[in-house]
A and B are shown apart, each in its own frame.
Chain A
């Protein structure tokens, strides 16, 4: 009788969720960028004016989410989810920010609620499995990864997730199999290569392990993408200068220079103090043949802080591109005055004074470049050349040897230089062997001119013998 009354009371009170609805969070936005402040204040005013409107609370949550204000966004999404429990996105977003806050169990609950509304939402399924794994519930996590694969066996992330579940259970063999499958589906999956490398290491397969670990280093954060319009809409709301700068850098890495320039310029419209944007634009404008603009950004950067070595470095590179070599040398010197450890500036300055025949000085700067940027292949290469010129062949060989790894499109040239130096030092067989290797690799990389040069040298050597 008593129990029945309690249940009845709970049922009666549940629609009045407003009583348990969390308050809108207090905001402190005084120091935010004006555009962002306005954007948040507007969303906040709307949510305050419509306290029972899920859309208004949720929109505020999204606005805070895009600026990584996860604590505050969580409250807003929670409100939205309570006000509109049948709307998928509020539960989904709630889970995402809770996972970002390390609240994996709560996140799993939110994703489960979202999946009740849209059971086939693939990103939510994967996020649920990930949250359960992170919450230390591998068995339940496994169920959800397997569920994903039942519907679509080609989801690399689910295979990777199952690999992690197997790793957590110390089953290296099963884990390795899963990671392999993930790589089969997406060969550039950095995390899967890394995990496979360690699983293979644990099974004693060191050589293959090293190959996968090395591959993970090349790929770093590369992972398969999953279409998720809800996440895209969060990213698109970000009007901050830093976000534009970030996008600009990503576009530059993707080779989209004109778009990158536009993003950088947008960042500066929002925050003219963002000196890094000016610095990047010196280089970007130079590369897109907008030299006047590049000069303008150089001056703007100097106005903010003339003591930043990168400004002078990038300007030096710009001037080299315009064949204004004396001025370029001065720019690199200024960079080195501000930062005597700037390896690239040492290198570039050395190349300029080497042209003037100042070989000893150039060699000293190449050495400085190497000292401050260990493994600086170009600096080793140029230093090696000078040493050959000075007939210091053993030292030159030592430098060239350091240029051979990692193997890439530059390796044939470096191997050629090393081989030629060996021959000059009297180690003919070793030299010819290296030249042959260089020729093979040059052909593989489609470096016709280099290959022709090596072939010529080899023919001459054969004639001599």
Chain B
């Protein structure tokens, strides 16, 4: 018996030490790299609804030096009559109002380090900040910023010299209502980027309502306390001006409490469609009719509701080909006790709610999800999933705590067995933080070949989660350079062909998630493959080109008209 006990004890300790020795998948480095940012909600005890909803973040190479910089959206006092000292959570000493831009010094210094360049760049926009969208609106090669607010929005044009100019008025893209996520897309395939803006509900400070939890405690209102607003679509006229085509396109004809937006060719007809996550109402799938108009098709597509035909509280939206079958699937984050929704595309723009089948119902059920991104964090060739979580109403178990809304973010590994496995608990201390997360953006911040995560927290610090595992496998990052198409190839689809494997199709985009914008370049995890047969690009205008003899483990720039024309074979499914 003594021997048996000894064996059992040995097994127990060996298990513990194996668990303890597991290297973290991500390491949180915001503060140590100079990324010091604290989100300010402006809360003064009134429970104004926007306080709990923001804010977003972006990863973009604004100075074109080859590394990703960081943009963070900030809140302010909503009630103009109040002072900063009256805030429930006053900002730290030395706090400056407005959004912040942090330049990545990796190139040329070789060290990942961020410097706050907001003032010099002129992008310290002050508003009640919600989201940010990133795109090159004038095809001049540098990235511009569109900022949404609970109030007027703003467009900042990149001057190409490290500074920006507020171009909102001349561009004609303001919306004074409560806007949330926004996305750049070339919906008319004319070679410049148009703009989709989600509007939420008609809350104003003046029209604020006091709402209560089932127990009678003051709490944040649900969206149904206000009236939903129609979204906006702005067409880029190519000369720095946009035209509001919300009515003409049909987009403005249906109001909805929009929070998340992602644009992709969902039905495989070569034209970009628009998917909008609505909070407590049917989600929209705007199918592009190729003539400047859209048709709302969410219901028949099976992407408007949960499996039971009931609307969920849609927050974030992420499109990606998680099952590597060549089409864009959808992941929508929802409220606690709803769980996220995974819509699997059959290639024709018809979706099945496959949440249960892929083992995502149970693990997401108690989280209120906001930001959501597909990323192949371990470069094994399959898209994994990260969700940024945090409640919007008081969590009963956290009552009495100063900010009782925090939850853990979640990481799910895409298993070869066609299911997701939650790996949050073993992903390292960075994933054990319990905060009120909202935005998340992806990009390879340290240029080491794997995808990192930038997370924005409501009433909390920004977090930079460096990927510590992906670079052990092979990878390829593809940057596009459009000529007839928009300069960064937003909306293009890129495929990597490997010997004996299904092609990997990825979309060039900066949209999706929640209030946030990620690096638009297409990243491919290649697993053990050390050779690439070919890379195919389907440009936004529809043309397809192929490049051969590309090597893995590097970033390549593919310029339009430098590849060979490509025709799809039946198994390569464009």
Report which A residues bind B (CB closer than 8 A).
2, 28-33, 36, 67-72, 100-102, 104, 134-136, 164, 168, 190-191, 193-195, 197-198, 201-202, 206, 209-210, 213-214, 216-217, 220-221, 238, 240-243, 270-271, 273-276, 304-305, 307-309, 338-339, 341-342, 371-375
Contact = CB atoms under 8 A, between A and B. Distances in A.
A216 B254 contact: no
Contacts of B165: none
B399 A28 contact: yes
Interface in B318-352: 337, 339, 350, 352
A307 B397 contact: no
B230 interface: yes
Contact of B214 (A202, A217, A243, A304): A243
B397 A242 contact: no
Band of interface residues on B:
35 or more
A374 B206 contact: no
Contacts of A273: 210
Given A32-B216, A307-B207, A71 B396 contact: yes
A168 B356 contact: yes
Given A28-B399, A338-B206, A242 B212 contact: yes
B400 to A, nearest CB: 4
Per CB-CB distance, the 5 closest pairs between chain A and chain B, nearest first, are: A33-B216, A194-B309, A102-B365, A374-B253, A307-B206
A276 B216 contact: no
Contact of B177 (A36, A341, A373, A374): A341
B79 interface: no
- Interface of B: prevailing SS: loop
Contacts of B356: 134, 136, 168
Contacts of B339: 102
A69 B217 contact: no
B1 interface: yes
Nearest to B206: A307
Contacts of A29: 215
A95 B371 CA distance: 32
Contacts of A193: 309
B309 A36 contact: no
B365 A374 contact: no
B308 A194 contact: yes
A2 B253 CA distance: 76
B255 A242 contact: no
B300 A36 contact: no
A374 B254 contact: yes
A134 B357 contact: no
A129 to B, nearest CB: 15
Interface hub of A31, A101, A238, A375 (most chain B Cβ within 10 A): A31
B362 A240 contact: no
Contacts of B88: none
Nearest to A274: B212
Nearest to A70: B396
Given A33-B212, A68-B214, A216-B309, 16 more contacts: A68-B215, A100-B337, A102-B361, A134-B356, A136-B359, A136-B362, A190-B309, A191-B308, A241-B216, A242-B214, A242-B216, A274-B210, A304-B210, A307-B207, A338-B207, A375-B254
A164 B253 CA distance: 34
B422 to A, nearest CB: 13
A202 B350 contact: yes
Contacts of A341: 177, 202, 227, 229
A101 B336 CA distance: 9
A178 to B, nearest CB: 14
